[in-house]
Amino acid sequence: MRVNSGQRQAAQREGGFTLIEMLVALVVLGILMAVALPNYNSQVTRSRRSDCMGVMLGFAQAMEKYRAVNYTYLGAADGNADTGVPASTLHPAQCPIDGDALYNLTIQAATANAFTLQATPVGAQTGDGALRINNLGQRFWDQNADGTWASTENTWNAK
């Protein structure tokens, strides 16, 4: 029995994809990854920052509770110091509270009637810019991570 060329080509095509089809699929996948991955990483960074904002609010609440008991914000840091890492009985010194630290929490300034708390990014968050909150509830984010607090950085609104 003779097999014509049309039947032979059909039999050969049943085996799978051609090399060209595979290359086209890989190019399309590469383009999608090039677009999606930076957006994904940006969202992860924003999510981590938002998580730390919540932890900072809890830290500020702990400072208010400390003042209600001690009538001052002074002495809330580790070793009864006024600034630095918070005392372990006051609040955890990192954000997130569990797991690997993405922000280190500190008491930047404290007086009897005022405080400023700061979350400094570390590890995977390095370069995202520090977060601050004070006893008045004013919030700051060093968006350009230059170590200074411009007048436009007086919000936690993430871009």
- 74 falls within a domain: yes
Instruction: Give CA–CA dist 119/27, Å, rounded.
Output: 41
pLDDT above 80: residue 139: yes
- pLDDT (mean) for 111-137: 92
**Is residue 103 domain-resident?**
yes
> pTM (2 decimals)?
0.77
- Assigned domain for 113 exists: yes
Neighbours of 12 (CB within 10 A): 8
Compute the average pLDDT of residues 34-49: 85
Taking only the tens place, the pLDDT of each residue in 67-123 is 999 999 999 999 999 999 999 999 999 999 888 899 999 999 999 999 999 999 998
The verdict on residue 108 lying in a domain is: yes
- Looking at 14-143, list the stretches that DSSP marks H as alpha helix, in order from N- to C-terminal side: 19-70
Domain that holds residue 31: 5-153
Q: How far is CA 100 from CA 33, 39, 73, 91, in A?
A: 27, 23, 28, 16
Asked if residue 145 belongs to a domain, the reply is yes
Q: With respect to residue 38, please indicate whether it lies within any of the assigned structural domains.
A: yes
> CB 126: neighbour CB atoms within 10 A?
11
Report how many domains make up the chain: 1
What does pLDDT average to over the chain? 86
Q: Does a structural domain hold residue 37? A: yes
What pLDDT was estimated at residue 64? Answer: 95
Whether residue 51 is contained in a domain is answered as yes
Burial class (CB in 10 A: 0-12, 13-18, 19+), 41: exposed
